[in-house]
Amino acid sequence: MSLLVVGSVAFDAIETPFGKTDKIVGGAASYIALATSYFTPKTKLVAVVGDDFPTDFINTLNQRGVNTEGLQIKKGQKSFFWSGKYHTDMNSRDTLVTELNVLGDFDPVVPESYQDCEYLMLGNLTPAVQQTVINRLRKRPKLIVMDTMNFWMEVAMDDLRKTISMVDVLTINDEEARQLSGEYSLVKAAAKIQAMGPSFLIIKKGENGALLFHGKEVFFAPALPLEEVFDPTGAGDTFAGGFIGYLAKTDDTSFENMKNAIIYGSAMASFCVEKFGTERIMNLQEDELLARINQFRNLVRFNMASL
170 near a second copy (CB under 8 A)? no
Number of residues located near a second copy, criterion CB under 8 A: 37
Element (H, E) at 193: helix 186-195
300 near a second copy (CB under 8 A)? yes
Residues 261, 247: Cα–Cα separation, whole Å: 6
**Of the residues 184, 216, 285, 287, which one makes contact with a second copy according to CB under 8 A:** 184
CB-nearer residue toward a second copy: 96 or 300: 300
Site track for a second copy across 248-277, x = CB under 8 A: --------x--xx--x--------------
Within positions 221 to 240, which residues make up the interface with a second copy, using CB under 8 A? 221-222, 225-229
CB-nearer residue toward a second copy: 95 or 294: 294
Helix, strand, coil share of the chain (percent; to 5): 40, 25, 35
Q: 91-108 burial, b for 16+ CB within 10 Å, e for fewer?
A: eebeeeeeeebbbeebeb
Q: Which residues, at least 6 apart from 78, have a Cβ–Cβ distance to it below 8 Å?
A: 50, 52, 99, 101, 102
CB-nearer residue toward a second copy: 51 or 175: 175
211 near a second copy (CB under 8 A)? yes
92 near a second copy (CB under 8 A)? no
Say if strands 200-204 and 169-173 run parallel, antiparallel, or are unpaired.
Answer: parallel
* DSSP 8-state class, residue 136: T
**Degrees (nearest 5) of the Cα angle 128, 133, 138?**
135
Residues that bind a second copy (CB under 8 A): 88-89, 184-188, 205, 208-209, 211, 218-222, 225-229, 256, 259-260, 263, 290, 293-294, 297, 299-305, 307
